[in-house]
Structure 1
Amino acid sequence: MLIGKFRKYKSFLPYLVVNALVLTACNSPEEMADNHLQKGKEFFEKGEYDKAILELKTSSQSGDQRSDTYYYMALLDEKNNNFKSMRENLFKTVELDPNNLEARQKLGKVHLLFGDLDKALEQANFVLSARPEDADSKLLKASVYIRQGKKDQATEIVDTVIAANLENIDALSLKAAIFFEDNQLDKALDLVNSALIKDTKNLPLRLFKIKINAKRNNIEAIIDDYKELVRIYPDAENFKLSLASIYSMTDKLELAEALLREMLDKNQDKVEPKIVLLEFLNAKVKDRVEGEFKSMLAKSGKNSTAILELSKWMLASGYIDAASGGLMQVAEMEGNSNTGLTAKTILAEIALNKKEYEKVEKSIAEVLAVNSDFVEASLLKARLLLAQNNPDQAIELLNKTVWTKNDSDNAFMLLGQAYVLKKDQKQADKNFKQALEINPANIQAFSPIYGGYLQANQKETARQYLDKALKSKPNQALFLTNKAELDILEKKWDDAQETVQRLALFSKNKAVPFYLQANILQGKGQYADAIKLYEKLLVEFPEHLNSMANLVRSYEALKQRDKALSFLEAHQAKHKDNLVVVGVLSDIYMANKDYEKAKQLLLNQIKMSPDKSVPLYLALAKVEAVLGKGIDNAREVYVKGLQVNPDDPQLSMALAGLYEQTGNKSEARKIYERLIAMNPDTNLAINNLAALLIESNSSEDVLKGLEMAERFKDMDNTYFQDTYAWGLVKNGKSKEGLAVLESLVVKEPKMPELRYHLGVAHFKSGNKATAIVELKQAIALSEKQQKAFAGRDEAKKMLSELEH
């Protein structure tokens, strides 16, 4: 269930196959003459790698190139985990000396590491042709076979190596990995245990053992494994954090806290262990945070830097009064030093958050009077301007700031926010990225950039930003949550497990790591275990929609929909005013085609919760549409719902959409106009009315539709911008409309209506051939998606005319 890994050693897990062939040796130097080569070798053997590399580089730069120079450079690369350079140096070694079998063997292992299986096999076979009983090359060959899915051939080779040497750790590891893949966990564990007897401190094997016990859901065994790692590697703080995380996830909070305090006691001069403890307390026992903070301040004495950092954490975590006390203490201790001015500026920022603008302006003036170049005060002034909705002055001030000091991540972040206010997303993103170059963990710059790449389905780029953020702030709950979600999305279950384990220590909402843990189990096909966690979550958080939905999906995967139904019926009986469970339950009734039950459930809930009836009427309309085999029944439900909830925008929009669907555009228009009259900034209603008018036969209406849609010209919404572009085309401004549509289709290439509009725009611009292509694409996409679009009939008719 829980997997703990220490990222530093992650690439050597036996399960990854390569780990059975752990590369050994050192760094990489070069040799000039034989003298430099020999000196390089001597330094290498002594472990003086810096000196070795200098000698070897000198040797490689000479005209008399020797294979040993590059081989030892490869060994040094291996020592530094620089496998790309190692491969290049091994290539050169083999080129100069084709019979260097050790170099070929290592080259094969590096090929395996990079996934070049045929090349790895080639090197293994070359060595075996010269040394038929070479165990390492046999295991290399077996590893390739495992990657190629040739498990039987791999097993045969591994068994011969073990038969020849019962103490070959790499062979035992590889055999255990094969058992693990076959889900023969007990056999895998027995082999790992026997290997650990021979090599007690073998870290990859110990981590693999944790992985096996995790798959066996043996939490106590995992705890024992981590205890042993902490004993063997007492200075590896990450193992202690992993153990504390497991204690935390299993509600052994006292043990977790004791471990964190032990880490703090050993590092009293460092701020980070103090913050880790505060983060844990904030997540698990919030009422003790302020007391612990005060105790830390008392022990910090005159260490104003530590007090400042602890106060900043308290402020970021919402403990404003306590943070203010710490900041005032720093301001008194430090006076007008930079540290003191920083504390005063942060105190002014607290006033800004309370909208005490006069107080903020006074504080900024006082700080700048002492030091006119104090950047933090200038940044606060920019924040004040943004709070007062004055982005232009803020940009002017911030540009001056970055001109004199271009290493302030917050200056670029604020520039990004200023451009967001000006609706210039391109400039905003540029400045957010600049902020992240300086500080990858700047949350306010990170969130829009990371979210933007995810939304654009550029997950690899999003992960690069996330990895940098986590490297800078490894315990930040937002980054950990993002990483767990991304790992789950990409089915990287082991990485997700490690992240969730760490998140368990620092998440303020304990439901988050449990929910993500359930997601992992569900994704791995361990549905019964996932169901237990979802049910546990729903006891504490009865309205958690995603847990309900995933609970149903997990039961569905086990072909036990009846059990999902039973659970939700019982859940609804306990929480009768819970509209979320009513919605999920009615969906299951609908899936079972038990429409009368769904109808009765919704009607009963409407009587019980008339003040919360809007979503119930929306759901009931769908049921009635199925029961009545038409949409008249749905229309009656919407009308009745609006009698109870006059002018509700959701019901009104639903009814207007239904009128459009049935061709009653005049009634739809009336509803949209009424909604806009009540709320002039209702973009969805404005868009729908504009689209309706643009399709009118009245040139006056078509022009009015375009005028309404012009508000969407610079809005980052494809559907709204499409309405604007279509309005341009329909009003005879085809080239302008075409330019907008071509930019939109890059973002949304699979939107049939957009393709249709683009086809018409091309035709009106004289591009008949391109128009035919786009119209065909629109119709094909519509058929593939089994979804009609406004104008489909016109598209078919137009295409037929153009092709004949």
Structure 2
Amino acid sequence: MKKGRYAVKALAACLCLSLAVGCSGPDAKKAKFYSKGKALFENGDYVKAALEFRNALQIDPRFVDARYMMGMVEMKKGNLKGAYGNFTKAVEIDPGNLKAQYELGKILLAAREADKAMEKADLILSRDPGNLDGRMLRGAVLVAKKENAAARTLFEELVARGVRNPDAYQLLSVIYQQDGDIKKSEDILRRGVAANPASAQMLVTLAAFLERAGREGEAAEALRKVIALEPNTLGYRFALAGHYLKTGRQGEAGQTLKDILAMDPKDEEKRIQVASFQTSHNQLADAERTLKEGLSLSKESIKLRMALSDLYFVSQRVDAGVSLLKECLTLGKKDKDADLLRAKNALARIFLSRHELDAAAGYADQVLKASPKNVDAQFIKGEIYLLRGDGVNAVSAFRAVVADHPQLASAQVKLAEAHLLNREPNLANEAIQKAAKIEPGSREVQRATARIYAARKELPKATEHLAKLVAAHPHDLELRADLGDLHLAAGDLKKAEAEYAEIKKQAPRLPAGYVKFSGLYLARKEYDKAIAEMEQAVRLNPASERLMTTLVGLYMGRGKYDSAVALCERRIAEKPGDTAALELLAQVHVARKDFPKARQAYDKSLAANPNQWLATNNLAFLMAENAANPVDLDAALRLAEKALAMKPGEATVLDTVGWIYYKKRDAGKSVDYLERAVAAKPDDRVIRYHLGMAYLMAGKNAKAKEHLSRAVSGGTAFSGREEAEKTLARL
């Protein structure tokens, strides 16, 4: 008997042990991850939920419920591509997972694949004829295909059976609207609200209907009910504020925004969202006040400073925006702080837009030192290489980006541009084809495709491609300009003129059409007409530095110095510290050999902003060229060395320093600086001329002859060409 009792106990112990092992095994672990993920999902914490579902899938890649929930997470994040991939895997594992089939149908319908969506509805209903999701999907597809009679019958049957799904009421209301029965449409919506009193979705739809009908008070009341249902969903509060603004009730809109801020005055995200709303409705002063109030409560906030800097950039207060971003750099506690890295990337992007490439690269390098795989900084470095004409490093930079982010279409486009710069059109084509697979409808991908055709000398293909795009998007002026530019490059001026004329016709108050016509007239050598078109462009956008610079160049090209001076002085009168206008004015005076006035303009520009390396360098060169004695040359050298300290390695500045030493009869130092300048910019004829003269002074006639010969080869005019030719003849 004892042996029997011991045997039973031993068997029980083994059973308990096996249960214990089973409970801590893979199935239990994946179930635990899944349950935790579901709870997080239901609480709206989609990021953490995704981590739990991924953990479950690492244990069992065929865990269909976790795969389905990963799809739902991606849906909540708005990533339809990611959702589609997960739902597709779910139905591959279990074709009978009707919930995943339904979600796939919804995505296909959103992608305007109505027939494929209907296939999903049919599949669901073939397995479960009474499945509500399947019937709802079928009805939605019928509405999309404008088969209203069949859709109406289906939804009326569902509503009559007591189905409370808000989508049924909303789609039935849409059908009645399309059929012109507005009263019935409203009645269905109100029945939907009654059937779903806790549905914010139904009330929002009713509010939109009432707003379209001009029943402003009722629409506002419906939105207030939505807010009462979901007080923490800010989107509904912004919808109410937007409704008030549309209907001219600014005071109530302002109060609605104040109510959002009052929920938690120190909540930076809420405050930034309010400021963003105000900015989007052109309430820039209110947005600035909102952000500054936040900074008074959170004095060291980097996020608020970055939001305020964005506002300054939008309102053309670039210097104020840059100052704020630089403040952010003093507040970050660690070099790897995410907000600090964003501030540095923002500064890099601003300097990149100004073509201040060294400054941009400096900030991007700081980010990459702290975070080597930071995609924004890698992208910026690639763009810097593109602007510098460094195709090899541009390819390397964008390859690094696409290696870590293969689905980033914009990086594939830039990689294609880098290959074009490297004269690798076939590799460029490979990159753009990858971009097209990622985002087949992307406008930028399509534009880049045309550029690649053109680079491969396939002009008919490029023209055909752009012509199709313009036909599909006739009001896209950039596409039309691309097509006109392609015709211009091919020498078909009439077709170019037709596209540019259409730009003018569609947007007579924008400078773009006039700028394009100016280029067209230049191609025809009709210079006065080119100037007239550019003058109109400047009248339409007098604040544009680029347009002013272009017009001054046109004036100078035709010897119209008085007109160029008048344009610059007009701009300076409106904006006395405008360094761009002052520098242009100086260049005009140099061209007409009025050196005292040129120096006066440079002095004013540097007084407004002493940290301009180019203006400092240009003034130094001007002083050296007009130096009356060694004291003047010493003053010019001090200024040139200041420019070099601001811009080390810049060929133009090295040339100025070297040329000043030439004038000071210091051949050794002159050759040293000018050799460095030539190394940095080997195709610059002026620098070659200067180096040739320095070698001659140093007694190195063979080298002098080599560089002077390279300077005068070809027919390009440059300052000093005549002296270079005479010196070369003597050698």
TM-score, structure 2 normalization: 0.48
Instruction: Tell me which of the two structures has the higher relative contact order, counting C-alpha pairs closer than 8 angstroms and 6 or more residues apart.
Output: 1
TM-score, structure 1 normalization: 0.44
